[in-house]
Amino acid sequence: MADTEESSGGPLRVALLSYRSKPHCGGQGVYLRHLSRELADLGHTVEVLSGQPYPELDRDEITLTKIPSLDLYRDEDPFRTPALREFRDWIDVLEFAHMKTGGFPEPLTFSLRVVRELRRRRRDFDVAHDNQVLGLGNLGIGRLDLPLVTSIHHPISVDRRIELEAARGIRQNLGKRRWYGFVAMQSQVARRIGPVLTVSESSKVDIVKDFRVDPRDIEILPLGVDTRIFHPRGERVPGRIVAMASADAPIKGVDVLLRAVAKVATERDVHVIVVSRPQKDGPTAKLVRELALGERVRFVSGISDEELGELLASAETAVVPSRYEGFSLPAVEHMASGTPLVASRAGALPEVVGDAGILVKPGDVEELAATLRRLHDSPSERARAGEAGLARVQRRFAWPAVARATVEHYRAAIDQQRYRRMAAGGA
């Protein structure tokens, strides 16, 4: 265990709020898991309030309070119709109706459920930390006299913009606009919610631009990497390229990677493993068939941390081909594994990777293919890039430091709440 909290303020009782917390892919679930562990190791009392999918937590002393939704988007049965007995209250009805009209209700309905829970248990916590929920219910947390800190990893308006650019035809365009309707709510809430933490200068710029949040309310706090899991492990598999994609969506650039690998594979013995679960008969699955990649590509999901660490360390080359990233934990995890990294010159990736990786134009299949060929043919360049990435991680990205800095933001929010109470004539 790490050293306990040394600040004179003493240990805090922290409520971490997350509407979905997928444990092994997707930045929100990974962030929640590591931050909760490090806060507990500092001596704070941590309770995670989460909707489905629920997180995996690393300490027995961390409490998981389940805030169940109707779980309408479960992997094995997406957009399902619940049985009548599953409906518990008006929020469930709202959630189902919203889904049936093409929207994504989870941020809104989770926020309504969690503010109800916090209202009942206000005296159990010193501070609440919202993990990018930004639902209207969050505005009610302030009325509970409970200090609130909000993390915005990046504004989902960016995902919306990229999805709309990729949409084909009026029907698909309208469907995407309806699905991303919750972004307007998140923008409204972000402007009214108080202190915001984000992970990069790039994300801060996008939050100010798209959500119109006052830049004075935003603090930059980069994320960390768990080097117990992600570290070099010896021999690498010849020709192996590895990438991670939390969603089967244009923003992650898997299509660009597959097209580039298809070009390289005509001249080199390479294969790619993508840590992702593509939609059945979705665009990625169709592209794999179109490119006739066959055994040159494999998708894996649901693997353990140890298996993921071994996979990343087995690659000769890692790729983050995204069209946008607000931070990119996968980029840091690849570098921590000592794997030479090729990443898009997009969003926060240049900021995160620095000069420790090779940056290419987002969406440029030819440039990515040429870079993969060059790295495949040059063990010395791969070695230099891998060493540079590992050194950068060791200098800049550590979860204990992230947790300590986060606690300072908690204390600042608590102090601000206390001053507001005093100014209003409270006790």
**CA distance linking residue 239 with residue 269, whole number of Å:** 6
Confidence (pLDDT) at 89: 97
Confidence (pLDDT) at 354: 95
Confidence (pLDDT) at 142: 86
Helices (H), 121-193: 139-142, 157-166, 169-179, 182-192
- Residue 7 pLDDT > 50, yes or no? no
Confidence (pLDDT) at 334: 97
Chain centre to alpha carbon of residue 14: 20
What are the tens digits of pLDDT across the range 163-188?
Answer: 999 898 999 999 999 999 999 999 99
Report the amino acid identity of residue 50: S
In 409-419, which positions are buried (b, 16+ CB within 10 angstroms) versus exposed (e)? bbbebbeebee
| Domains and their CATH numbers in the chain | 13-224+399-423 (3.40.50.2000), 240-396 (3.40.50.2000)
Confidence (pLDDT) at 345: 97
> Please, what is the average pLDDT of the chain?
93
Q: Give the contacts of 35 (CB within 8 A, at least 6 positions apart).
A: 16, 399, 402, 403, 406
**pLDDT category, 26, cuts 50, 70, 90?**
low
**pLDDT category, 1, cuts 50, 70, 90?**
very low
Q: Give the contacts of 108 (CB within 8 A, at least 6 positions apart).
A: 94, 98, 135, 136, 137, 182, 185
Backbone angles phi, psi at 15, to 5 degrees: -105, 115
**CA distance linking residue 343 with residue 356, whole number of Å:** 10
Percent of the chain at pLDDT exceeding 90: 83
What are the tens digits of pLDDT across the range 331-344?
Answer: 999 999 999 999 99
**CA distance linking residue 252 with residue 300, whole number of Å:** 16
Q: What are the tokens at 152?
A: 């915005």
What are the tens digits of pLDDT across the range 87-97?
Answer: 999 999 999 99
In 362-401, which positions are buried (b, 16+ CB within 10 angstroms) versus exposed (e)? bbbbebbbebbbebbeeeeebeebbebbbebbeebbbbee
Return the minimum-mean-pLDDT range out of 137-151, 204-218, 244-258.
244-258
**pLDDT category, 360, cuts 50, 70, 90?**
very high
What are the tens digits of pLDDT across the range 270-297?
Answer: 999 999 988 888 889 999 999 999 899 9
Angle, vertex CA 301, rays to CA 330 and CA 71, nearest 5: 100
**CA distance linking residue 424 with residue 135, whole number of Å:** 27
DSSP 8-state secondary structure symbol assigned to residue 213: -
Q: What are the tokens at 139?
A: 């505005």
Confidence (pLDDT) at 18: 97
Report the amino acid identity of residue 379: P
Of 203, 221, 45, 32, nearest to 133 by C-alpha is 32
Confidence (pLDDT) at 321: 96
The radius of gyration of the chain's CA atoms, rounded to the nearest angstrom, is: 22
**CA distance linking residue 382 with residue 365, whole number of Å:** 20
Percent of the chain at pLDDT exceeding 70: 97
- Residue 2 pLDDT > 90, yes or no? no
Backbone angles phi, psi at 66, to 5 degrees: -80, 130
What are the tens digits of pLDDT across the range 401-424?
Answer: 899 999 999 999 999 988 888 887
